[in-house]
């Protein structure tokens, strides 16, 4: 990753209005900042959220609260709890997420 043309700044995530992204079940609420080609998000999944698509976008993701289950298209599954992260490259391994209890994530992609 190369970060260019981005001056030092702080982000007060509570001041950014969330946008709702409905899943197959439940919703994800994104607070998003764009810095050139890099998107940075604070994402909150409601309990019972299940993604409605397989994602091929690369991410670096840190679980802050709750529990996130991520399934890869090949059937492997991973569980993130607070303090755990994952990273995946663009077009590497399609994945989708779900949570029974809800989750709060910090995502860079």
CA distances from 32 to 12, 43, 79, 81, 104 (A): 11, 8, 24, 22, 14
Taking residues 91-104, report their average pLDDT: 97
Residue 70: pLDDT band (50, 70, 90) is very high
Average pLDDT along the chain: 96
What is the C-alpha to C-alpha distance for residues 70 and 79, in angstroms, rounded to an integer?
6
Residue % of the chain over a pLDDT of 70: 100
Write the pLDDT tens digit of every residue in 17-69: 999 999 999 999 999 999 988 999 999 999 999 999 999 999 999 999 999 99
Q: Quick one: pLDDT at residue 56?
A: 95
Full set of structural domains in the chain with CATH? 19-108 (2.60.120.10)
Main-chain dihedrals φ then ψ at residue 90, nearest 5 degrees = -55, 135
Residue 106: pLDDT band (50, 70, 90) is very high
Report residue 69 as tokens.
Answer: 């289950």
CA distances from 101 to 13, 22, 46, 85 (A): 22, 16, 7, 18
């Amino acid at each position: 990753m190369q970060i260019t043309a981005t001056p030092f700044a702080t982000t007060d995530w509570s001041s950014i209005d969330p946008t709702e992204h409905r899943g197959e079940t439940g919703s994800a609420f994104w607070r998003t900042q764009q810095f050139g080609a890099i998107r940075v998000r604070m994402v909150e999944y409601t309990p019972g959220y299940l993604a409605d698509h397989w994602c091929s976008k690369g991410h670096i993701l840190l679980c802050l609260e709750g529990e996130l289950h991520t399934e890869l298209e090949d059937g492997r599954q991973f569980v993130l709890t607070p303090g755990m992260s994952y990273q995946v490259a663009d077009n590497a391994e399609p994945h989708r997420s779900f949570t029974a209890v809800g989750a709060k994530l910090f995502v860079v992609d």
